[in-house]
């Protein structure tokens, strides 16, 4: 099947490549441990990683344009694609071309910045957001999109526009607390999920004790084990519920989210399942999980920039005016 776009999600630890067809459908996917932090940062190293990920696709379809989102466009990446200010639409993402010694240029999707007293940024999540909005009727009404992860994002979309967002370092803090503080000394590794412990963490975050904030309540993940009220095997799930509960409480207060707000989660299904449980526990009513939307977002951004055509014949084309 013909390749009309080679799309890359190039993050910190991994590189995922998508071969897309005439209507943006995914024909093939590859994942490699070649994120920007696994490379030495020189031009040749990025070229080698690109060749390893999709060199055969380029050889078979030399005119197919290439687009990439994520940390590859950061200051630590191949080339820095400067942030675009929110609010914005998908077609306002001005792409940065990397001219290469051979083959098609690689077009980089810029990140998004929200300015203010405390600036906020994202790279890669904007592509998932716009991918979800492609053909989604809910984009006409206010929509809250959650992207759980190491740095969880909560993105407000209004009228199809990415209007504002908040970041919570919940996942990274969770790993750091268990791996590098005294809290981890009482934790026992377990392969099973302790739902009761997770829900207890949620309750504590929403309780009067929880009003003191996570810097106060996280110590309870140790004291509950020391007093025999919680097993060491349940400690990690309790701490997970506690941190996610605090995240949702802060997000709700900052964004003034009513229980009827439509919320969509994108990301790892196991982690999203925890967030869906937590959101239900917090009283939210309109919830759903969406599959990973990066490929759809990269296709939409490429089409908006003129890299691919989206006519009824399904022919793809590279525009000489794209993205300059």
Q: Which pLDDT belongs to residue 134?
A: 62
Q: Which pLDDT belongs to residue 46?
A: 97
Q: Which pLDDT belongs to residue 182?
A: 97
Written as one string, the DSSP assignment of 274-318 is HHHHHHHHTT--EEEEE---HHHHHHHHHHHTTSS---TT-----
d(CA 219, CA 317): 58
**pLDDT of 46-85, one tens digit each?**
999 999 999 999 999 999 999 999 999 999 999 999 999 9
**pLDDT of 158-191, one tens digit each?**
988 999 999 999 999 999 999 999 999 999 999 9
Instruction: Please check the confidence at residue 94 and state whether its pLDDT lies above 80.
Output: yes
Q: Which H/E stretch holds residue 168? A: strand 161-168
323 confidence band (pLDDT: 50, 70, 90): very low
- Please say whether the beta carbons of 12 and 37 come within 8 A: yes
CATH of region 168-290, choose from 3.30.420.310, 3.50.50.60, 3.40.50.620, 3.30.1370.10:
3.30.420.310
Domain boundaries, the chain: 168-290
**pLDDT of 299-322, one tens digit each?**
999 999 999 987 643 444 433 334
**pLDDT of 220-236, one tens digit each?**
999 999 999 999 999 99
Q: Which pLDDT belongs to residue 291?
A: 84
Q: Which pLDDT belongs to residue 118?
A: 95
d(CA 177, CA 60): 48
The stretch 226-251 carries a mean pLDDT of 97
Relative to beta strand 106-108, strand 66-69 is: parallel
d(CA 96, CA 53): 21
């Amino acid at each position: 099947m013909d390749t009309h776009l080679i799309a890359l999600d190039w993050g910190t630890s991994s590189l995922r490549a998508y071969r897309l067809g005439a209507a943006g459908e995914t024909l093939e996917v590859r994942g490699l441990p070649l994120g920007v932090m696994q490379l030495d940062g020189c031009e040749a190293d990025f070229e080698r990683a690109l060749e390893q990920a999709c060199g055969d696709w380029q050889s078979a379809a030399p005119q197919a344009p290439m687009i990439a989102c994520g940390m590859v466009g950061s200051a630590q990446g191949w080339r820095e694609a400067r942030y675009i200010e929110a609010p914005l639409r998908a077609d306002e993402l001005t792409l940065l071309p990397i001219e290469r010694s051979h083959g098609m240029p690689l077009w980089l999707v810029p990140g998004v910045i929200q300015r203010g007293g405390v600036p906020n940024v994202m790279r890669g999540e904007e592509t998932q957001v716009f991918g979800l909005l492609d053909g989604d009727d809910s984009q006409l009404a206010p929509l809250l999109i959650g992207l759980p992860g190491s740095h969880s994002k909560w993105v407000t979309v209004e009228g199809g526009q990415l209007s504002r967002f908040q970041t919570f370092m919940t996942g990274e803090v969770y790993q750091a607390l268990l791996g590098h503080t005294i809290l981890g000394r009482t934790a026992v590794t377990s392969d099973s999920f302790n739902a009761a412990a997770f829900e207890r963490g949620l309750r504590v975050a929403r309780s009067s004790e929880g009003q003191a904030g996570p810097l106060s309540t996280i110590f309870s993940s140790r004291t509950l084990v020391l007093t025999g009220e919680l097993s060491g095997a349940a400690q990690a799930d309790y701490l997970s519920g506690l941190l996610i509960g605090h995240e949702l409480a802060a997000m709700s207060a900052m964004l003034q989210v009513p229980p009827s707000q439509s919320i969509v989660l994108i990301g790892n299904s196991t982690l999203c399942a925890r967030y869906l449980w937590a959101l239900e526990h917090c009283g939210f009513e309109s919830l759903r999980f969406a599959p990973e939307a990066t490929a759809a977002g990269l296709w939409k951004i490429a089409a908006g920039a003129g890299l691919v055509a989206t006519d009824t014949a399904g022919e793809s084309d590279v525009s000489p005016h794209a993205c300059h």
